[in-house]
Amino acid sequence: MRIAVISDTHVPSRAASIPEWVREEMAASDHVIHAGDFDSPAAYESVVDASPALTAVAGNMDPASIDVPEVATLDAGGVRFVVVHGTGDLDGYDDRVVAAVDDHAVDDRPTVGISGHTHQRRDVEMGGYRLLNPGSATGADPAPETSMLVVEVADGEIAVEPRVE
């Protein structure tokens, strides 16, 4: 299964639209994960329209009219993905993300955490989990670049490939 992982689109407050190459990556995937901060109902609808299937969470910049949870899970290819935005101060960010992942982890397969909020792409091991952050899919400040992740998952194994422009 191919999963496009994006976050922090911030349309329209920090970017005019989601780049076409990101939309193409979403459309070419089996599933899309958005880790919050759509910024507007129009941005949310844009992601929905480009996605074959979507798992999404609310970020600190999302209006209540975007009806998505604060934490979501996706079981795919023998892996549990726990998605959370990571809202709050940067101090304590890792602890908040690990705690959310731990609360929704399962014992019968690997659990991977996906978060956003920092606009910084990363792939780290922490608290016994692999944690992924795709950065900002629009390069919204303070992101150093426009980025996302493409995850291939099968039989409990994942391969993560960053996409950057």
**What angle (nearest 5°) sits at the alpha carbon of residue 143, between those of residues 137 and 149?**
40
What pLDDT was estimated at residue 4?
98
Distance CA 14, CA 107 (A): 40
Classified as helix, coil or strand, 82 is: strand
Mean pLDDT of the chain: 97
Cβ atoms of residues 3 and 10 within 8 Å:
no
> Which helix (H) or strand (E) segment is 158 a member of?
strand 157-164
For 141, the token pair is 């400040």
Parse the chain into domains and list their residue ranges.
2-164
What digits encode the pLDDT tens for the residues 12-32? 999 999 999 999 999 999 999
Q: Hey, what CATH topology would domain 2-164 get? A: Purple Acid Phosphatase; chain A, domain 2 (3.60.21)
Cross-strand bridge partners of residue 32? 4, 54
Share of the chain above pLDDT 70, in %: 100
Percent of the chain with pLDDT over 90: 100
The pLDDT of residue 44: 97
Check residue 82 and give its pLDDT: 98
pLDDT band at residue 37, thresholds of 50, 70 and 90? very high
Q: Residue 147: name the closest of 54, 13, 8 by CA.
A: 8
Note the pTM of the prediction, 2 decimals: 0.97
Strands 79-84 and 111-114: parallel
**Mean pLDDT along residues 21-45:** 97
- Render pLDDT for 119-161 as a digit per residue (tens, 0 to 9): 999 999 999 999 999 999 999 999 999 999 999 999 999 999 9
Contacts with 163 (C-beta within 8 Å, 6 or more apart), sequence order: 21, 22, 25, 147, 148, 149, 150
Q: What is the mean pLDDT of residues 108-121?
A: 97
Task: Provide the token pair at 122.
Answer: 């990363």
